[in-house]
Amino acid sequence: MCSCGFSQCFLLLLVKIGVFVSISNALDCRYNITSPDVISYYTCFELASKYGISVDTFVLLNQGVNAACSNLTPDTVYCVDGTIIPTTQNGLCGPSSPETTCKGYIGGGCCNSRTWMCGNSSDDCAAGTCFEGLCDSGSSHYSLNGKCGPLADYKICTGLFGDCCSLSGICGSGPGFCDSNCMYGNCTLEASPTSSPIPSATALTSIDGTCGGVDGFMCNNVWGYCCGGDGRCGDGLDACGAGCQSRFGKCNHGNTKADVSPDGSCGGAAAFICTGSSFGDCCSAVGFCGNESTYCTGGCQPGFGTCNGSKTSPDGTCGGGNGYECKGSAFGDCCSSSGFCGNTTSFCGGGCQSEFGTCSASRTSSDGTCGGVVGFDCPGSAKGDCCSSAGFCGNTTAFCGSGCQSAFGRCNGANLSPDGSCGSTHGYECGGSGFGDCCSSAGFCGSGSDHCGPGCQSKFGQCSSTPSSTSRSSSSSPTPSNASRDGSCGSNGMTCVGTSFGTCCSSSNFCGSDVDHCAQGWLTGAVSQAKYSSACQKAPVTSLNGECGVNKGSLSCAGGPFNGQCCSQAGFCGKDSAHCGVGWHTDKPQAKRDLVSAVSCQPTCLFPLERFLGENRVLALEDYNLPSFRRL
């Protein structure tokens, strides 16, 4: 079995079967020998056997030698241990083209670690940039990512990253890298008049935690920056205080100028401070300098820089060990019992930790939403005191006028219906709404007998007569034994009558009081759903999909999402002349007289002789012999 890599095995196979190897490749030889003074036909086998390789491998490693191994020359260097690496075919190298090399590539023999492309410019082949190939210096010795020191196998700093390796293991140039913070490299240290001589730039960094002495090891960030009197590195007072050897590390470790962060790191083993650094004066919880709130507030380390005093949570956690506060955080102002910031009941209600945030039994909105499932109230919120029909807090007419939800905030005047619905669900009123002044038992505004007659809800609009004794008695009758307990109905034999979920059972078998439950649902599903309901809407039934007219199930545009639109002759709701002009009515003359109750048109339908004056639509009724016209 072949123990080499795929590339080598493949090349060996080609050699064995006598195929000319046209694939360009390069040799990475690890061990060379010199052939003897006297060469024979047997020399090739002798060399291969001596160094534990086959003759085929010897030929492969020495591409000038023919397959018969008959052209060896005396006193010549040959390779007996190495790797054959195919030359890249497209100029890509490094991670972009693993197991290939730039050696032998026509575009250049140096792999640039910035572009991962082969090239032959001075930048491509420079130390610190050249990844492999014909590099100016041994590429394996130089840092290609700006890291250096003991944690980076003591890579040498050069090129773009700078010539000095700082005590924190970062390459750089100038102050903070090449001065007293320099570990090795092109260090330009100046002697301090108040301390012992600074460690030599050529001093070796400690490999075992010892320092000074015969070896002269210098302390680093692995073992600590101070060399104690006992010859061991550390960061505590025993190493940095009395007896500290300043020739082999730092001494009197504290907030001195020498400790200002040279690379943006702070705290930790290096104990760099941020105050006065070019990165910012605050040391964050994770040990980096900056000036933003994420550095200067929650988790800020006051021992290594400036902090704003606030403990605002930087990550959504609160209370407990870190003591973070939620007030003013991006996650919410309330700290839950489990130690997380938020704004909902689970955060602000039972178990809320008041010492780490805001807690309130009230439902005051913290994000501007109101009503709906969460039931937030607007009074006292930052957005406004009125809750609009769409569920947002505000103070303008759009929030406090028509559709305003009085149950969740302040409203100006009557709670006029914005969409033709009315009754207990939203508390909308029909009077002056434009959809009709009567609120039907199904919860829709209108002007016909279905809306103003029996079942009309006088609390939410006008009614032609007061509710009958039958209605009163039924409203006060006991709740049916099969009343739904979870909002489901119909197929399970449960009724919506007498429940808090709504009085209509939809075709999908759920209770409710809106159009989805009281209109199309009970018709399109099964008429039998009416026996599980007490307020199903009678025809014309409100359209929910834009279809209307006698050919579309006698659906009407009124009362739902298409309220105020006209039903065209083709059976679709709309507002333009194609829907509201000629064709809205049937061929029957009485259609003109039955305009209000006609299934195929709404009360706001335009007549054929419509004309527009700006935003006001004027109905020209003179040709219909009607006593008046309505301005929309």
Same domain (yes/no): 495, 576: no
Same domain (yes/no): 30, 20: yes
Report yes or no on 211 lying in a domain.
no
Q: What total number of domains does the chain contain?
A: 3
**pLDDT value at residue 118:** 92
Please state, in angstroms and rounded to a whole number, the distance separating the CA atoms of residues 398 and 376: 18
Q: Which residues contact 269 (CB under 8 A, 6 or more apart)?
A: 221, 224, 225, 235
Same domain (yes/no): 621, 518: no
For range 259-287, the mean pLDDT:
76
Residue 259, pLDDT > 80, answer: no
Please state, in angstroms and rounded to a whole number, the distance separating the CA atoms of residues 319 and 43: 80
Chain centroid offset of residue 314 CA? 16
Please state, in angstroms and rounded to a whole number, the distance separating the CA atoms of residues 258 and 132: 37
Which of 117, 139, 161 is at the close of a domain?
139
Tell me the C-alpha to C-alpha distance, in Å, between residue 150 and each of 1, 182, 268, 366.
40, 13, 17, 52
Residue 12, pLDDT > 50, answer: no
Same domain (yes/no): 550, 528: no
Report yes or no on 345 lying in a domain.
no
Percent of the chain, pLDDT > 70? 68
88 and 62 Cβ atoms separated by less than 8 Å: no
For residue 386, give the H/E element and its range: strand 386-387
42 and 70 Cβ atoms separated by less than 8 Å: no
298 and 312 Cβ atoms separated by less than 8 Å: yes
By C-alpha distance, which of 386, 347, 381, 389 is closest to 364? Answer: 381
Amino acid letter, residue 44: C
36 pairs with which residues across the strands?
none
By C-alpha distance, which of 270, 317, 275 is closest to 296? Answer: 275
Report yes or no on 84 lying in a domain.
yes
Same domain (yes/no): 517, 583: no
Range(s) of the domain holding residue 502: 486-538
Cα angle: 479, vertex 423, 384; to 5 degrees: 125
Please state, in angstroms and rounded to a whole number, the distance separating the CA atoms of residues 394 and 260: 50
Q: Are strands 541-542 and 555-556 parallel, antiparallel or unpaired?
A: parallel
Q: Which of 70-74, 159-163, 400-404, 533-537 has the highest mean pLDDT?
A: 70-74
529 and 535 Cβ atoms separated by less than 8 Å: no
Cα angle: 492, vertex 495, 501; to 5 degrees: 110
Please state, in angstroms and rounded to a whole number, the distance separating the CA atoms of residues 284 and 298: 8
Q: How many CA atoms lie within 13 A of 320 on its CB side?
A: 14
Q: What's the 3-state SS for 407-466?
A: HHCCCCCCCECCCCECCCCCCCECCCCCCCCEECCCCEEECCHHHHCCCCCHHHCCCCCC
Same domain (yes/no): 50, 26: yes
219 and 233 Cβ atoms separated by less than 8 Å: yes
When mean pLDDT is compared across 260-264, 358-362, 514-518, 533-537, the lowest value belongs to 533-537
Same domain (yes/no): 607, 532: no
Same domain (yes/no): 502, 567: no
pLDDT in tens, 489-498: 887 788 877 7
**pLDDT value at residue 341:** 84
Amino acid letter, residue 256: T
Report yes or no on 235 lying in a domain.
no
Q: How confident is the model at residue 65 (pLDDT cuts 50, 70, 90)?
A: confident
Q: Which of 68-82, 249-263, 293-307 has the highest mean pLDDT?
A: 68-82
Token pair in block for residue 65? 């030698």
Residue 10, pLDDT > 60, answer: no
Q: Which of 66-80, 260-274, 588-602 has the highest mean pLDDT?
A: 66-80
Owner of token pair 């196998």: 153
Q: Which residues contact 327 (CB under 8 A, 6 or more apart)?
A: 312, 333, 357, 358
Q: How confident is the model at residue 185 (pLDDT cuts 50, 70, 90)?
A: confident
Which of 538, 568, 599 is at the close of a domain?
538
Same domain (yes/no): 493, 545: no
Report yes or no on 244 lying in a domain.
no
Please state, in angstroms and rounded to a whole number, the distance separating the CA atoms of residues 236 and 361: 50
For range 324-335, the mean pLDDT:
78
Same domain (yes/no): 553, 626: yes
Task: State the alpha helices, DSSP H only, in 168-280.
Answer: 237-240
Which of 104, 124, 139 is at the close of a domain?
139
Length of the chain as a residue count: 632
Q: Is-above-0.75 flag for pTM? A: no
Report yes or no on 408 lying in a domain.
no
**pLDDT value at residue 569:** 80
Q: Which residues contact 351 (CB under 8 A, 6 or more apart)?
A: 336, 337, 338
Q: How many CA atoms lie within 13 A of 110 on its CB side?
A: 21
Same domain (yes/no): 82, 41: yes
Chain centroid offset of residue 5 CA? 42
Report yes or no on 533 lying in a domain.
yes
Same domain (yes/no): 131, 29: yes
By C-alpha distance, which of 410, 449, 445 is closest to 425? Answer: 445
Token pair in block for residue 592? 């003109």
When mean pLDDT is compared across 49-58, 362-371, 381-390, 472-481, the lowest value belongs to 472-481
